[in-house]
Homo-oligomer: A and B are copies of this chain.
Amino acid sequence: MQEMSEDARLVDALGETAFRTMGALTGIAADAGLSLTQLRVLAILRDRRLRIGDLAEYLGLEKSTMTGLVARASAKGLLAREPNAEDARAVDVVLTPAGHDVARSLEAAIRYALLPLTDRLPAADRRALGALLERMLSYHL
Contact = CB atoms under 8 A, between A and B. Distances in A.
A126 interface: yes
Nearest to A8: B111
Contacts of A140: 20, 116-117
Number of copies of this kind of chain in the complex? 2
Contacts of A125: 132, 135-136
Interface string A104-137: 0000001100101110110101111110111111
Please report whether the interface of chain A is mostly helix, strand, loop or mixed according to DSSP. Answer: helix
Interface of A: 6-11, 13-23, 25, 40, 60, 110-111, 114, 116-118, 120-121, 123, 125-130, 132-137, 139-141
Contacts of A116: 139-141
A121 B136 contact: yes
Contacts of A110: 11, 15
A110 B124 CA distance: 30
B18 A25 contact: yes
